[in-house]
Amino acid sequence: MRLMRYVGLLLAGVFTAGWVQAAEPIRIGELNSYTTLPAFTLPYRNGWQLAVEHINAEGGVLNRPVQVISRDDGGRPGHAVRIAEELVSREGVVLLAGTFFSHVGLAVADYARQRRVFFMAAEPLTDALTWDSGNRYTFRLRPSTYMQAAMLAEQAAELPVTRWATIAPNYKYGQDAVAAFKKLLQQRRPDVEFIAEQWPAQGQIDAGAEVQALLAADPEAIFNVTFGADLARLVREGRLRRLFAGREVVSLLTGEPEYLDPLQNEAPEGWIVTGYPWYAIDTPEHNAFVAAYQARFNDYPRLGSIVGYNTLLAIAAIIEAAGSTDTEALVAAARGIEFDSPLGPIRFRAGDHQATMGAFVGRTALQEGRGVMVDWFYAYGNDYLPDEATARQRRPSE
C-alpha cells in the first residue's frame, strides 16, 4: 500500500534528494484562513506538509517533486480570489487547493470556473460547492454539511423528543447545515417540529442572549452548528444557565479535537456529535499516520491534520492518473478516482465531484478532565449522499 510506504520512508529518514534538485517541481497553490481560524488550519498545514514529505520521499509525482506555495486568505473572499490569481499568474501553479470558510471556498471555486483552473476544495462544507454552484473544475474532499447533517439526523431520529431548536452561524455553512438537518430529520420523523432558530454572526456570538432565547423557546432538543470560539462561549454560558440540563443536543463538528480539547473539563457530556477520536482509531493505516505525525511534529493530530494530509494524497493520485498537469486531464482523472488514505479508500464521485470521505459519529464524554468521543462509529460518506444521477441534476450544466 503506497500510504504505508510513505510513512515507512519518513520514519526511516529516507529521502531521495538528488532528483529533487534536478527535476522541475510540480507547483501547487494553496490558500487558507491561517490567521482567522488557526485551531483548525495550522494542524491542516502540518498535515499537508507531512504528505508532501511522504510523497517526495517516495519519488514525487510523475518523477517530479511536489512543491506547495501557500498563502493566507484571511477568511475574506475577495482577498482569496486575489491570492488565487497571484498563485496562478505569478507563481505558475498547476492547480489550487485549500480554503476553510464556505463563502471563501465558493469565491475561489467561481474563480476556478472562470479561469479554468483545477481546484481541490479541502475544507469548505457548503452543499452549494458541489451542487447548486458546482462547476467542472472544483472537487471537494471533506464530507459536506448535507452528509454530516444526514449522519446526525439518523441518530436524532432515535431520540424520544419532538420539539427542536437550532443555533448556527449566519452564513452559507450554517444555513446549509440547518436546512439539511431539518429536512432529513423530518423525513425520518414527521412528528418533529422546529420551534426556534438562532443565527449569531460567525465569530461574534452574544452567548448570553442566544442562550436566553433558546431557554425562552423551551425545546426538548437543540441542533448546534457553532464551532471554535463561538462554541466555547455557548457551552460555558449554556452550562451557567442550565440550558443543556435535561435536553438532548446534536452538534456538528463538536467532537473534533480543535474545538473539544480547548474546553478541557468544561466539555459537554452526552452530546451527539461528528468529530475525530484519533486516540481510539485502531487500524494499521491510521496508526501509521499518527506515528508519523507525532514523530514529525511532537503533537497529536487534529481533524485538520488528516484533512490536510488527505488533500495532498488526493492531488498526487489525480496528477499521477492524469499523466500530466493539464487542467482538462486533471478533471478527467479526478472523476471517479479512488485513493488510499489513513481512513481507508476515498473516491471522488464523477456525478458531483464530492469525495466519499466519511466522518466519525458518537457522543461526548469527560475522561480524565478532557472531552472525548465515546460509542463512536465511522460513517462512510457515500452512504449519506443521494445517488450520483440525482446529485448531478442539482448542478449547473457544464
Predicted pLDDT at 14 = 45
Locate the domains of the chain by residue range: 2-144+281-357, 146-277+359-384
Strands 359-367 and 272-275: antiparallel
| 398 confidence band (pLDDT: 50, 70, 90) | confident
pLDDT tens, residue by residue, 276-292: 999 999 999 999 999 99
299 in helix, strand or coil? coil
More confident position, 9 or 173: 173
**CATH number assigned to the domain with residue range 146-277+359-384, chosen from the 4 options 3.40.50.2300, 1.10.10.60, 3.40.630.10, 3.40.50.300:** 3.40.50.2300
| 8 confidence band (pLDDT: 50, 70, 90) | low
Whether 2-144+281-357 and 146-277+359-384 share one fold: the answer is yes
Whether the Cβ atoms of residue 46 and residue 292 lie closer than 8 Å to each other: no
Predicted pLDDT at 22 = 67
DSSP assignment of 240-281, as one string? HTTSSTT-EEEEEEEESHHHHGGGGGG--SS-EEEE--TTT-
Predicted pLDDT at 397 = 83
As a whole number, mean pLDDT of residues 26-49 equals 95
Does residue 2 register a pLDDT over 90?
no
Instruction: Measure the CA–CA gap between 173 and 128, rounded to whole angstroms.
Output: 9
Domain 2-144+281-357 grouped into CATH 3.40.50.2300: yes
Does residue 1 register a pLDDT over 70?
no
As a whole number, mean pLDDT of residues 79-84 equals 98
| 193 confidence band (pLDDT: 50, 70, 90) | very high
Joined grid coordinates for residue 101? 470558510
Identify the helix (H) or strand (E) that includes residue 140.
strand 138-140
- How far is C-alpha 250 from the chain's CA centre? 18
As a whole number, mean pLDDT of residues 186-203 equals 97
- Find the range with the poorest average confidence among 14-23, 111-120, 240-249, 258-267: 14-23
Does residue 19 register a pLDDT over 50?
no
Does residue 16 register a pLDDT over 90?
no
Q: Taking the complete model, does pTM exceed 0.85, yes or no?
A: yes
Mean pLDDT, all residues of the chain: 94
Whether the Cβ atoms of residue 306 and residue 343 lie closer than 8 Å to each other: yes
Does residue 21 register a pLDDT over 70?
no
Predicted pLDDT at 69 = 98
395 in helix, strand or coil? coil
What are φ and ψ of residue 303, in 5° steps? -60, -40
Instruction: Measure the CA–CA gap between 325 and 315, rounded to whole angstroms.
Output: 11
Predicted pLDDT at 17 = 46
Instruction: Measure the CA–CA gap between 185 and 183, rounded to whole angstroms.
Output: 6
Does residue 6 register a pLDDT over 60?
no
107 in helix, strand or coil? helix
Strands 338-339 and 346-347: antiparallel
Identity of the residue numbered 296: R
Does residue 347 register a pLDDT over 80?
yes
Which residues make beta-bridge pairs with 97?
30, 120
